[in-house]
Amino acid sequence: MAMRKGLVYSLMSVLLITPIILLFVIYSKINRMEGQNTVVEIRADELGSFYKSFMHDLGRSLDISTRRSLLYSNNFIITNGIPFDNPAEKFSQLILDGNLNGEEIGLLTGSDTLPCNTLTCHKEKYLDLSNEFGYNLDVEIISVDISPYDSWNINSSATVRITIEDPEMEMKIDRISKKSVKVPVLDFEDPLYFLNTKGKISRKVKKASNNPFTRGTNGKGWFLGEVTQNPTLGDKSKVLITENIDGLNPTELNQFAGLVTDDYIQPPIGLDIPFLVGTGNGTSIEIGEIVYTENTTFKVWDTDSEILYKNYHSSDSGPSYFDRLENRTYISDTYKAQSPHAIGLVSFVDLDEMELRGLQVNRSLSVLDYKYFRGETDSVE
């Protein structure tokens, strides 16, 4: 009888202990699987972070190498006294590997005190880093493209194929990616002045920060001229500023270089001159002032102040910065087609400064820089 009771108790013990053992085994397996999943997730995150770091630093290399290419182009013009032809093509090569026509350019490739920031150097740096992480890395720089973004900035972009493999975890990233940066041309030399004044006048691109006389809501074209408020004195050297154009016909208005009106009007049919409407206070500008406006900003500027401050303005008619590097006094159709924005620049020639530097001046020409340097007077555009 006692033996039977012992057997029963033993069976009961086994039945009680077995589920506990099974639960322990299952829990251990789950922990091991979760641990393995955690390791995989960590390695995957590290791989993704390596890719993001590569692309972030690619943008930084693009920015620095584009700025150095701009500086090199300025130095080239100042040293040689000739235009820097095909700047977009040359910048692409400089940014890629720092070489131009078989010559290594130290400003790009680096020196004892200046690190290399070409895309090739960026690639080599990350190849070394990948070895430290135990990755297999392959980078193909598919293209480097440089184009005007707007009047004040260059768009610099690189398309790369990057393959990063973690052989230990058998995981891989394989992507074709594009990185673009906007690089400003502000404070760089304007080659148009240097090349057209025998190096006697230096001018850096500076965006106007002072206030305009006034601004409108809509307009067409550009004009430069002396302010008048008398609609009967039609003169192509004068800009008519009026509260409204009631009682004035297009034939009368077309005798002026441009029209500024305070009213928010729809320009009449037959008005062929440049205009700016909706200024609200344009008639407060003093008669006799020389003013300039262009439809990229709808602002009226005091020309004397702009000459004094050596300011630049966005323009649809003046040459872009790339055009200026090539000593071109008009916007290239090629560059214009590369951006939906206005890419041109315009400044005002300081004739007094030119005379002081011993240059012969022609005061009958336009003071708009690109028109002066091609020997033109002001005309309606």
80 and 172 together in one domain: yes
Give the pLDDT confidence score for residue 3 in this predicted structure: 52
Task: Give the pLDDT mean for 362-373.
Answer: 95
**135 touches 173 (CB < 8 A):** no
**44 touches 52 (CB < 8 A):** no
**Is the pLDDT assigned to residue 310 strictly greater than 80?**
yes
Round to whole Å and give the CA distance between 224 and 303: 8
- What Cα–Cα distance (Å) separates residue 185 from each residue in 204, 318, 334? 9, 15, 19
159 and 214 together in one domain: no
Least confident interval from 41-50, 103-112, 206-215, 247-256: 41-50
Which CB contacts under 8 angstroms, 24+ apart, belong to 365-373?
366/224, 367/224, 367/303, 367/307, 368/224, 368/292, 368/318, 369/192, 369/193, 369/318, 370/192, 370/317, 370/318, 370/319, 370/329, 370/330, 370/346, 371/329, 373/192, 373/196, 373/329, 373/349
Residue 14: band (very low, low, confident or very high) from pLDDT cuts 50, 70, 90:
very low
**Is the pLDDT assigned to residue 128 strictly greater than 60?**
yes
Final residue of a structural domain among 153, 184, 215: 184
Residue 27 burial by CB count (10 A; 0-12/13-18/19+): exposed, middle or buried?
exposed
pTM for this entry: 0.85
State pLDDT tens for residues 325-349.
Answer: 999 999 999 999 999 999 999 999 9
Final residue of a structural domain among 184, 202, 225: 184
Give the pLDDT confidence score for residue 20 in this predicted structure: 54
233 and 319 together in one domain: yes
User: What rounded mean pLDDT belongs to the chain?
Assistant: 88
Give the pLDDT confidence score for residue 25 in this predicted structure: 47
Task: Give the pLDDT mean for 65-79.
Answer: 96
Q: What is the CA radius of gyration of the chain?
A: 34
Give the pLDDT confidence score for residue 13 in this predicted structure: 55
Within 13 Å of residue 53, how many CA atoms lie on the same side as its CB? 13
Q: Do β-strands 222-228 and 238-242 pair in parallel, antiparallel, or remain unpaired?
A: parallel
**172 touches 151 (CB < 8 A):** no
Residue 114: band (very low, low, confident or very high) from pLDDT cuts 50, 70, 90:
confident
Round to whole Å and give the CA distance between 214 and 301: 7
Angle at 79 between CA 73 and CA 85, to 5 degrees: 40
Q: What are phi and psi of 316, to 5 degrees?
A: -95, -5
What is the span of the domain harbouring residue 147? 43-184
**Is the pLDDT assigned to residue 315 strictly greater than 90?**
yes
Give the pLDDT confidence score for residue 381 in this predicted structure: 46
**Is the pLDDT assigned to residue 227 strictly greater than 80?**
yes
Final residue of a structural domain among 169, 184, 199: 184
249 and 171 together in one domain: no
Q: Confirm whether 6 is domain-assigned.
A: no
State pLDDT tens for residues 148-200.
Answer: 999 999 999 999 999 999 888 778 889 999 999 999 999 999 999 999 999 99
Task: Give the pLDDT mean for 72-96.
Answer: 96
Residue 379: band (very low, low, confident or very high) from pLDDT cuts 50, 70, 90:
low
126 and 244 together in one domain: no
What percent of the chain lies above the pLDDT cut of 90? 70
Number of domains in the chain: 2
**Is the pLDDT assigned to residue 34 strictly greater than 70?**
no
145 and 227 together in one domain: no
State pLDDT tens for residues 253-300.
Answer: 999 999 999 988 778 889 999 999 999 898 899 999 999 988 888 999
Among 363, 348, 353, CA closest to 306: 348
**Is the pLDDT assigned to residue 32 strictly greater than 80?**
no
218 and 122 together in one domain: no
Q: Confirm whether 13 is domain-assigned.
A: no
Angle at 369 between CA 365 and CA 372, to 5 degrees: 25
Q: How many CB atoms lie within 10 A of CB 253?
A: 23
Tokens representing residue 155 in the block: 């768009």
Q: Confirm whether 309 is domain-assigned.
A: yes
Give the pLDDT confidence score for residue 12 in this predicted structure: 54
Residue 26: band (very low, low, confident or very high) from pLDDT cuts 50, 70, 90:
very low
Taking every pair of Cα atoms in the chain, the longest distance, rounded to a whole number of angstroms, is 136
176 and 219 together in one domain: no
